[in-house]
Amino acid sequence: MSAPLVWVLPDGRPGNASQCLGVAEALGLPYQVKKLGYTWAVVLDNRLRGATLIGIDAATRATLTPPWPDLLITAGRRAAPVARYVKKQSGGRTFLVQLMHPTHHEREFDLIAVPHHDRRPPAGNILTITGAPHHVTPAKLTAAAETWRERLAGIPGPRLAVMIGGAFGRKPLPVALALEMVRQVSATANRLGGGIFLTTSRRTPADVVAALPNAITCPAYCHFWTPEAENPYFGFLALSDATVITGDSVSMLCEATVTERPVYILSPPGLARRRQALLQDRLIELGHARHFETLSEGTLPPGPYQPLNAAHDIAAAIRKRL
């Protein structure tokens, strides 16, 4: 029997693409990525777009042709009508997996994976997960460690990987708050006799990036994210003794648990929104993370810690239903 035909249909946002790829890789099946390009009409409500290609550009339309997939994995509101269109064209045969709630027509999706912190009511086709799926794996971290080991060797241990998020929606990360957080981590690294690996993200505002070096007072290897630069993110995860992540980043919090080493949440008042705060509480409740204050007052606890992998949970649910 031939393997099922699998399409991955991310909505264009990097975080959503990462979630889709994580689930596809966890399934272990060959898959095709169908990148979506949009027109102005993508801003229309999904009730108006229906099961159509309204809002999808001509180049993308040319790629959405038979044979239709047996399984389609998608994420985000903008891609949901396209997924429904594909299922309609297949005569209802395509099994639709939606990551995050599609906002409308949820009954037309065979499986919807929603995070616990979204507080969605239960339904037969809804799978509640903790955090967000991702495609960080132990094998990828092992490979990254070999790539980055020599370049990061000059930073003494214990090493704290510091991941700085940034703007979320319309709420920017204030410069003063970012500087204070990095000063706190630097002071903790000095107290422990170690150093930090620091990276910004694509969401980090430019004024924050420019100011951060002024707040670092310990041995450090810094990476300020750009689309072109080689990214040491996986190397930082692989070679650090603990990870410190700003509380605005759902994806980085979940990815860091794969290391099975301590994960600390740096989230002063006013940084995280309600949904993010609910996730932080959930991670701490389940033992996947701790408040940064527990590190600033103590020492690194021994591991290993239980990793969090929503992608594997979703993949298992797909296999069970498909």
With bands split at pLDDT 50, 70 and 90, how would you rate the model's confidence at 263?
very high
Alpha helices in 169-309 (DSSP H): 175-192, 206-211, 233-239, 250-256, 274-285, 293-296
With bands split at pLDDT 50, 70 and 90, how would you rate the model's confidence at 170?
low
- Average pLDDT score over the chain: 89
Say which residue, 110 or 267, is predicted with more confidence.
110
With bands split at pLDDT 50, 70 and 90, how would you rate the model's confidence at 306?
confident
Question: Among 40-44, 93-97, 254-258, 304-308, which stretch is predicted with the lowest mean pLDDT?
Answer: 304-308
- Mean pLDDT, residues 6-22: 87
CA distance linking residue 248 with residue 235, whole number of Å: 22
CA distance linking residue 33 with residue 35, whole number of Å: 6
Are 3 and 31 a contacting pair, CB within 8 Å? no
Global pTM reads: 0.87
Question: Among 244-253, 256-265, 297-306, which stretch is predicted with the lowest mean pLDDT?
Answer: 297-306
Residue 312: predicted pLDDT: 92
Question: Among 14-23, 77-86, 108-117, 274-283, which stretch is predicted with the lowest mean pLDDT?
Answer: 274-283
Q: What Cα–Cα distance (Å) separates residue 35 from each residue in 38, 55, 58, 112?
A: 10, 14, 12, 20
- Pull the structure tokens for residue 271: 């940084």
- Mean pLDDT, residues 172-184: 89
- Pull the structure tokens for residue 60: 């993308």
Residue 80: predicted pLDDT: 93
pLDDT at 2 over 80: no
Residue 225: predicted pLDDT: 87
Give the chain's domains with CATH numbers.
6-109 (3.40.50), 138-296 (3.40.50.2000)
- Pull the structure tokens for residue 236: 């930082």
Torsion of CA 271, 276, 277, 281, to 10 degrees: -140
Q: What is the pLDDT of residues 26-61, one digit of tens each?
A: 999 999 999 999 999 999 999 999 999 999 999 999
Burial environment of residue 174 by CB neighbours within 10 A (0 to 12, 13 to 18, 19 or more):
middle
User: Could you tell me what percent of the chain has a pLDDT over 90?
Assistant: 59
Are 217 and 186 a contacting pair, CB within 8 Å? yes
Cis peptide before 158 (omega within 30 of 0): yes
Q: What is the pLDDT of residues 86-114, one digit of tens each?
A: 999 999 999 999 998 888 888 999 999 98
